[in-house]
Structure 1
Amino acid sequence: MQTTILYIGRNTEITTVMNRLLNARPEWKGICVCSDDEAIEICQTNEIDLVLLGNGIDAACEKALRARLTGIKTELKIIQHYGGGSGLLYGEIMTAL
């Protein structure tokens, strides 16, 4: 069974790298976006297991995103990911799950 992970970031290049990293593992399905509205739409139409909030999301936006996302799925796990190697990413994801 695949774990579906939604990454929301502001930097297109980093979002592209995150897409590659998340989809490199067969047990993960990564969906990576740069827009909040796109993220909300994806959460409404897909079964998301975990949301990663990337660099560039300010505190007010993060608060609003968390409220909107948990309004869709109350038990949704949302964590911050601001970079680091793929080992750190793996550890963060496994800890959250």
Structure 2
Amino acid sequence: MQTTILYIGRDTEITTVMSRLLNARPEWKGICVCTDDEAIAICNEQHLDLVLLGNGIDAECEKALRAKLTGIRPGLKIIQHYGGGSGLLYGEIMTALNH
């Protein structure tokens, strides 16, 4: 069964790279968006195992987004991802999923 991961970031180029990295693993299904509205719509429509918050999301937006997403799916795991290589990304995701 695939693990569905939603990445939310503000930079379209980085979001494209994240989509490629997340979907390179057959056990992961990566969905990558740049707006909160898109993220909320996806959270309403699909099962999510993990949300990664990427670059460009300020503290106020992050707080509101976390509240909205967990309001839709209580217990949803949400972590910050600031970049780094694919090994770091894999480690962050596996740590989050196993806790």
TM-score bracket relative to the smaller structure:
over 0.9
Partner SS, residue 15 of structure 1: helix
1:51, distance to aligned residue in structure 2 (A): 0.1
Q: Number of residue pairs matched? A: 97
**In 1, Cα distance between equivalents of 2:73 and 2:33:** 19
Partner residue in 2 for 1:4:
4
Compute the displacement of 1:7 (Å).
0.1
Partner residue, 1:52: 52
Compute the displacement of 1:37 (Å): 0.3
Query: How far does residue 65 in structure 1 lie from its aligned partner after superposition?
Result: 0.2
Q: Distance in 2 between matches of 1:51 and 1:75?
A: 11
**2-structure distance, mates of 1:39, 1:51:** 9
Distance 2:64 2:72 in 1: 13
CA RMSD of aligned residues (A): 0.2
Tell whether 2:84 aligns with 1:84: yes
How far residue 30 of structure 1 moved from its aligned partner, in angstroms, is: 0.1
1: CA distance, partners of 2:86 / 2:79: 16
State the SS of the aligned residue for 2:5. Answer: strand
Gaps of 5+ in 1: none
Compute the TM-score of the two structures, normalised by the length of structure 2. Answer: 0.98
Note the C-alpha offset of 1:2. 0.2
Residue 21 of structure 1 aligns with which residue? Answer: 21
Q: Which runs of 5+ in 2 are unaligned?
A: none
Post-superposition offset of 1:53: 0.1
Residues 6-47 of structure 1 show CA distances to partners (whole Å, capped at 9, x for unaligned) of 000000000000000000000000000000000000000000
